Amino acid sequence: MKLLVTGGAGYVGSVCAAHLVDAGHDVTVLDDLSTGHRDAVPDGAEFVEADLAEAADEVLGAGFDGVLHFAARSLVGESVQRPELYWSGNVVTSLRLLEAIRRHGTPRLVFSSTAATYGEPEAIPIREDAPARPTNPYGASKLAIDNAISSYAAAHGVAAVSLRYFNVAGAHGRFGERHAVETHLIPLVLQVAAGTRESVQVFGDDWPTPDGTCVRDYVHVDDLADAHVLALQHARPGHHGIYNLGSGTGFSVREVVEACREVTGHPIPAVAAPRRSGDPAVLIAASDAAKAELGWNPVRTDLSTMVGDAWSFAQSRRQPV
Ligand code: UDP
């Protein structure tokens, strides 16, 4: 298929673009490089550096079989401080993309959604029919886009799939997580092991969880990419499928730090810190729908594989070029 990958110079987008190139698809990456990296665009993909809102109509006019839409702002804290960036950068931009998809009759769309659409869960594990009550503008912006996609699929026949990621981790060879402002647990802990940070803060140790620290469902970025390839194959015209993607197992902050110690051999000092506002105690996905309907089978589910791959990536970035 001829595929447009928006945000394909970012973490998840670049890994998915690499999988799509490897699967033999004709891939064009569109990215404004605001947070992505030119050298993260996989060999074999065409690259367009452009603002998506401005370029979507012209680019899709060339005729594509599908769009995988990753381009987005994704920092929860920033979304609370500067919601305008999220309503504009995520929602307005995605509406422009949807309009271009409608105008040019692009048949398929796979959208990068998030567990943040659910907010504070009422029940664990979280199923797709759980109430969607996001607790920050980031989650709200992604939910608004999901809703817009549902109506475009129903009215205009787009075959659409939204994939709601839980905590993405790991790396795919030279494609991995490298944010200018790092807020995610595993890369921060690995910065301590790499010697660029002294210690890691543990945000709250009095949560109602077995060891008092927050529990999250980590999913390997390669398993996530597999789900995107399957979503393209299974998308049905006029239908919007929404699927959670997680490994179905929860790991606490302490367990993550311990796994990083084992993988790196570094003592990694961890310091107790106050709870981070907006953090739910436990987030675990029910991914049964993705397994049953897409045939998804996450296989890199153990923490040491995810941390090990992230560590290999982090070390490869430190080699002199
Ligand atoms: N966390 C932490 N210290 C940090 C960064 C994160 O204790 O320096 C915790 C955070 O409170 C949450 C978990 O690690 O419980 C995962 O956070 P992350 O930001 O990686 O992902 P999120 O669950 O917010 O999407």
**Hey, which bits of 32-183 come out as E strands?**
46-49, 66-69, 108-114, 159-165, 167-169
Give the residue, by CA position, lying nearest to ligand 1 atom 12.
Answer: 214
d(CA 33, CA 151): 30
Q: Largest Cα–Cα distance of the chain, in whole Å?
A: 56
pLDDT of 156 higher than 70: yes
Neighbours of 297 (CB within 10 A): 12
What lies within 8 Å, CB to CB, of 82 at 6+ separation is none
- Predicted local distance difference test score (pLDDT) of residue 319: 64
The 10s digit of each residue's pLDDT in 73-103 is: 999 999 999 999 999 999 999 999 999 999 9
Average of pLDDT values for 134-157? 97
- Asked whether 186 and 253 are in contact (CB, 8 A), the reply is no
Question: Which of 185, 213, 260, 284 has most ligand 1 atoms within 8 Å of CB, for mutation?
Answer: 185
Beta carbon of 216 within 6 Å of any ligand 1 atom: yes
The 10s digit of each residue's pLDDT in 196-250 is: 999 999 999 999 999 999 999 999 999 999 999 999 999 999 999 999 999 999 9
Complex ipTM tops 0.90: yes
Beta carbon of 279 within 6 Å of any ligand 1 atom: yes
pTM above 0.95, yes or no: yes
Average of pLDDT values for 132-143? 96
Catalytic residue, from 138, 152, 218, 243: name it: 138
Report CA(110)–ligand 1 centroid distance (Å). Answer: 26
